[in-house]
Chain A
Amino acid sequence: MQNMSDNELDNLFKEAAEGFVPPQDASAWKQMSSMLDKNPVKPASFWNWKTITTVTTTGLIAVTAVWFAATDDRETIAKTNGKNGSNNATQGVVQEQQSQTNLAGRENLSPAQPVENKGGGVHAVSTAESRNDKYPDTKEKSARKGNTHKGDNGIQPDRDTELPATEKSEPAVITSDIMVSHATAPETVRSTSSSGVVEKDLLAATDSAESSPEKTRTDSAENVSTVAEKKDKKSQRGVFSLKAVLSPDFSSVNYFSASKSGINYGLLVGYSFNNRWSVYTGVISSKKLYKTKDVEGSYNLDGYDYPMKELDGDCRILDIPINVYYTFFPERSFSLRAGLGFSSYIMRKESYVYCVDNYGSNAYYEQQVEGENNEWFKVMNLSVAVSKSITNRLSAEFEPFVKAPLAGVGEGKVSLVSMGAFINLKFDVTLNK
C-alpha cells in the first residue's frame, strides 16, 4: 500500500465518500424537530433586510426629490402670490382711498367748475379703456397714455410726474390724483371699468417699482416681457439630472433562458444637451444570478479534467454605464426615449458552483473570485424608456433594457446577457444660465 500513488489514494477515498451511505436514524428527526421548536424558522418573507434597505433608500430619494420639487413650486407660487398680495394690498388701499375720495370728491365738487373739464376726463378714461380692449398687451401703457391726456387737458397733473410719488408709498398723492379725477369726472370714477383701469395703472407702477423706482419711468411693456422671461426660466428643463434606478435582473448565458431574478439599483447623473439628446452615467449595483447547462470545457482539479455539466453563477457587480438617449416627443408629458451605450463591469464577487461528471455521478465544486476581473466596455446597453412628468423637475420612467455581451465577462469569460426593466425617478437640477 505504501506504493499507492497519491492520485490512487485520493480516488479511492473519493469513491468511498460518494458511495458511502450512512444509516437512517429515526431519532435524528426528533432532535431536529426539538431544535426547530426552540428556534422557530420565520417563513420566507419579501421584507428581508435587503429589500427593506432598497425600498427605504429608493423611498428616501423619491421623497427628497418630491420635496425639493414641491418646495420649488411653493416658492414660485409664494412669489407670485406675494406679488399679487402686494398688488391686492395696494389695490385695497387704493380702493379704500377711492371710497374716501369719492366722498371727498363729492364734498369738494364745486358747481362752479367748468363742465368741459368733466368731459375731458371722461374722454381720457374711455379712450384708454377702448385701447386696452383692442390691445390687451399694451393695456397699462394705453392706460397711462390715457391719463396723460388728462394732463393735457390741464385739469389733472401729468401722470408721469405723479407716479414716483405713488411708488414711494405716498397715498396722499394717489388720493389727490384720484380726487382730481373724481372731482372732475365723478360719473366716470363711479363706473367699474374706468376705476379698474386706474387701479391696473397703479398696480403696474407699484409692481415695477419694487426693485428700482427709476424703472417705473420705462415702458411697462418691458415689465411684461421680463415677467414672461422669468416664467420661461422657471419652466426650463434642467441641464443636469439625477436618476435613481431600480430593476429586477434576469441574466443568462443565452438569450431568454434566465432562471432566477437578481436586482439592479443605483444612481445616475445625466446631462441634457438639448431637449432631445442627453447622456447618462453613474453606478449600478447589480446582483446577477444565472444557471446554464450550455457549458463547454472541464473543471481541472489536481491535474484531472472533469467534464462540466452545469454552472451556477452568483455575481455581485458594479455596473458603470455610459448611455446616450434620444427623446421622441419631448414636448409631451409622456415622452419616449431610446438609449444606446456601453457598460463596464467591476466584478466585486463571483461565486460559481460547477457540476461535473465524476465517474458517472454528479460532483459539485465551488469557486469564489473577489475583485479580480474588471471588464471595461464589454457590454452594450439597449433600452427604451417611457417617461411621465410628475412635476416640473420630477419625472418617472419605465425603461426595459437589454445588456448584450460584446465579449466574455468574469472568471469564466461567459457571454452574459441581462434583461429587465428599470423603474426610474428622474430629478432635474435646474441651472441658472
Chain B
Amino acid sequence: MRLLLEGCKKNDRESQRLLYQHYYAYAMSICIRYCRSLDEAKEIVNDGFMKVFQKLDQHETELSFKGWLRKIMVNSAIDHYRKESKHYNHVEATDLVFEPAVANVLDDISYAELIGMIQQLSPAYRAVFNLHVIDGFKHDEISKILNISEGTSKSNLMKARENLKEMIEKANRKGAYAKYV
C-alpha cells in the first residue's frame, strides 16, 4: 500500500487506478448514504478521489489513509449537499413511497435495504442522520457544517429517526422487510 501511495504521489496512473479500485467500495458505502441514487454517489466518489489524489502527500500510512479518505468522502458529500440543497424539493419522507432503490442489484440485501431507507430521507434529514449517527459528529459540529442551528440539527435527527421507523414499519407490513431479513 505504501508503494501504491508513493506511486499516486508521483501521479502514476496505474497506481491511481489500483488505489481507486481498492477503496472504491469503501468510498461508495460512505457517499451513497448521503445521496439518493447510485449515479449521484458515483459523482461524489469521483470528486472525493480527485481531492485525494491532489492532497495525497499529506498522508503516509494505510490506516490513517483510510480515516483520511473517509473524511474526504464525507466532506465531498457535504459539499454536494450544499451545492444541490437549493434544487432539492423538501418533501417529507412520509410522502415517499418506499422503494428499495438498490436492493435489486446488491448481494447484501438487508443492509442494502436499510441504506435505501436512508436514501429515501429528505436531504436535510439524511445529512443530519448520517453525520450524527453513522459518522459520529456532534450537534454543534453539524450545525457548523450545515450552517443550521443546533436545535434544527436535533430536530432533524428526531424526524429522521421517526421517518426511518415508519419506513421499517411499512416494509414490515408489506413483507418486503421480512423477505430480505
Contacts and interface: CB of A to CB of B under 8 A. Distances in A.
Contacts of B16: 36
A6 B28 CA distance: 26
Contacts of B20: 28-29, 32
A301 B17 CA distance: 36
A52 B56 CA distance: 19
Contacts of B54: 41-42
Interface string B149-181: 000000000000100111011001000000000
B114 A12 contact: yes
Nearest to B71: A366
A4 interface: yes
A17 B57 contact: no
Contacts of B111: 15-16, 19-21
Interface residues of A, number: 46
B165 A22 contact: no
Given A4-B165, A21-B108, A259-B60, A301 B136 contact: yes
Interface stretch (B44-52, B77-85, B92-100): B44-52
Contacts of A363: 136
Interface in B16-70: 16-17, 20-21, 24-25, 28-29, 32-33, 38, 41-42, 45-46, 49-50, 53-54, 56-57, 60-61, 63-64, 66-68, 70
A1 B165 contact: yes
B114 A2 contact: no
B3 interface: no
Report which residue of A16, A29, A44, A301 has the largest number of chain B beta carbons within 10 angstroms of its beta carbon.
Answer: A16
Contacts of B67: 312, 353, 355, 364
B49 A32 contact: yes
A80 B7 CA distance: 62
Contact of A24 (B24, B32, B172): B24
Given A20-B112, A28-B24, A364 B53 contact: no
B91 interface: no
Contacts of B90: none
B134 A312 contact: no
A158 interface: no
A259 B60 CA distance: 9
A365 B136 contact: yes
A4 B63 CA distance: 35
Contacts of B17: 29, 33
Interface in A321-362: 353, 355, 362
Contacts of A42: 11, 54
B86 interface: no
Interface in A10-47: 10, 12-17, 19-25, 28-29, 31-33, 35-36, 39-44
A39 B50 contact: yes
Interface in A117-155: none
Contacts of B45: 28
A387 B79 CA distance: 51
Contact of A364 (B9, B70, B110): B70
A291 B110 contact: no
Interface in A243-272: 259-260
B46 A43 contact: no
B110 to A, nearest CB: 7
B50 A2 contact: no
A32 B151 CA distance: 39
Contacts of B21: 24, 29
Given A16-B111, A353-B64, A23 B53 contact: no
Contacts of A24: 21, 24-25
Nearest to B52: A41
Report which residue of A14, A260, A366 has the largest number of chain B beta carbons within 10 angstroms of its beta carbon.
Answer: A366
Given A1-B168, A32-B46, A364-B66, A41 B133 contact: no
A4 B60 CA distance: 42
Interface string B111-154: 11011001000000000010001111100010000000000000
B87 interface: no
Contact of B32 (A12, A22, A41, A362): A22
By Cβ-Cβ distance, the 7 closest A-B pairs, closest first, are A44-B57, A16-B114, A365-B136, A22-B28, A364-B67, A20-B111, A1-B169
Given A9-B164, A28-B45, A43-B11, 14 more contacts: A13-B114, A16-B114, A16-B115, A19-B111, A20-B108, A21-B106, A28-B46, A32-B50, A36-B16, A41-B11, A353-B64, A363-B136, A365-B135, A366-B137
25 contacts: A9-B165, A10-B133, A12-B114, A13-B164, A14-B133, A16-B111, A21-B25, A22-B29, A22-B102, A28-B20, A29-B21, A35-B50, A36-B53, A41-B50, A41-B54, A43-B9, A44-B9, A44-B57, A259-B60, A301-B136, A310-B63, A355-B67, A362-B66, A364-B67, A366-B71
